[in-house]
Amino acid sequence: MTPSTGPGHPRFDRQGDLRSDFLVIGSGIAGLRAALALAETGDVVVLTKADPRESNTGYAQGGIAAAVGPDDSPELHASDTLAAGDGLCDPDAVNLLVREGPRYVTELMAWGAAFDRGEDGTPALAREGAHSVRRVLHAHDATGREIARVLWTRVSSNPRIRVVGDAQALALNVHDGRCAGARFMTGDGLGTVVAERTLLATGGAGQVFRETTNPMIATGDGVAMAFHAGARVADLEFVQFHPTVLSVAGAPRFLLSEALRGEGARLVNNLGESFMERYEPAGDLASRDLVSRAMVREAERTASPVYLTLAHLPAAFIRERFPTIAQTCAAAGLDLTADPIPVRPAAHYVMGGVQTDLDGNTSLPGLYAAGEVACTGVHGANRLASNSLLEGLVFGARAALAMRAGGEPAQLPESDVVDDGLERDSGDATVPTAGEVRDLMWRHVGVLRTHAGLETAVTRLRAWTWAIGRHKEETHDPDVRRVENLATVGGLIAQAALRRTESRGAHFRTDFHHRDDLHWMKRVAQRRHDH
């Protein structure tokens, strides 16, 4: 289903300009769930860059975690989430997520979400890394796509929601210290949405890295726009690298769901030996950060790739449970049920983002954020598998309720706040390509980080950002805007990673191997130096 630009109550003032009660930027699970709630009391404009199937929601294979099983509870789900977050989760955010999650998942099922079910008719629950029980609902290996289908069916039939497709948001409009909508660009030209309240639901920033599971549109637009508008961002040093991504020359990087290991798949080296227990007591079901680092170390130790094998599992079950993954492997010349599948880590999810309270309020009045673009503290230093769709669902709905109520922003969570300047004149700097930014980030701000590498990245990204700033006013080229967002978010990630002189969760420094609670049991927010 493609976005509709059909009739709705929000009106055009002139060509390309809209007025509405609410603006939602992004069309993943957080944005769509919010739009539905907002439409109960006002008119809504949704700006989306591309087909909704290209959101990160549509790429989420494994499932959505919720405490709905007979041996599960919100308390147990919270315990697993806090453990994965490695000491930096906001407990209030976690408790809210796990307690409200089952209600919103039940709502999805009532709306027609076709999650897989067991012989007794109850949801078939999977187990993934760092979960203590089976609690992940799934629709084969295309859960995100199924949730997106259900939400888009409701959004597209709602006359109070107008969806503008092929719309690249360029900047937030700020008047008298308040967000009042956004400027955007489509194939027809430039436009503006004037709105009382704006929700950023733009998803992630995986495309900042050369190796990523994210779609091409995941370029960190929301974080970049919010930062430039003066809003605080936080926890950006914590980037989760998914350990099992298909790594075949000439084939696109493709996520091999953690549910594979939940069903018994094993990581092996070039000799076919299981190796995870050598590095982590939890073995193949350790948290993603631990598995990714173990894979890198094993590849270095053996000077060869590592593989995922399912050859010891029933072939018919694998094909039925993971049809999309099996088809993708087959297109790359591999049999998922029999062949060792070459895998490597790739950038998957950014735990940090635009800092919010538990209702989506940011530090900029009139601006809200939900989903991966936001940072509530619910994930801490490392997200628990399959909590991302739940986060979008729960916090998208909560942000909408807050937007409907209005009022002034609540106090943001306690954190250190630093002023970061991204730009630095470097005479010979030229505007980089997207590929140059992504290569730099993968080399120096990837799974294993060093002081020297991070300094190199920060210096180069500052020079590039300065060069882009000089050039962008001369053009409305969407490619330049894309590179600007990549360099902005990359620079913020690199600066935050250089500042945090410890290893915690998904942030690992080879020069500071250990977690340092004395100095770093805290979150750090960044804001523009001129705000």
What are the catalytic residues? Answer: 288
Structure tokens, 404? 């409907």
Q: Contact at 8 Å (CB) between 428 and 477? A: no
Structure tokens, 63? 């499932």
Intra-chain end-to-end CA distance of the chain, in Å: 41
Tell me the β-bridge partners of 419. Answer: 527
282: left (phi over 0), alpha (psi -120 to 50) or beta: alpha
Comparing C-alpha atoms, which of 194, 221, 219, 225 is closest to residue 207? 219
Structure tokens, 220? 């960190």
Question: Which residue, chain included where needed, has tokens 């499932």?
Answer: 63
Secondary structure (3-state) at 309: strand
Rounded Cα–Cα distance for residues 26 and 33 (Å): 11
Contacts of 482 (CB under 8 A, 6+ apart): 219, 434
Comparing C-alpha atoms, which of 349, 335, 278, 340 is closest to residue 305? 340
Question: Which residue, chain included where needed, has tokens 């991204």?
Answer: 422
Rounded Cα–Cα distance for residues 272 and 287 (Å): 22
Structure tokens, 469? 């700033």
Rounded Cα–Cα distance for residues 228 and 484 (Å): 11
Q: Where are the beta strands (DSSP E) in 250-366?
A: 254-255, 266-268, 306-309, 341-350, 353-355
Angle between helices 434-444 and 478-499 (to 10 degrees): 20
Angle between helices 388-405 and 29-38 (to 10 degrees): 30
**Cα 452 from chain centroid (whole Å):** 27
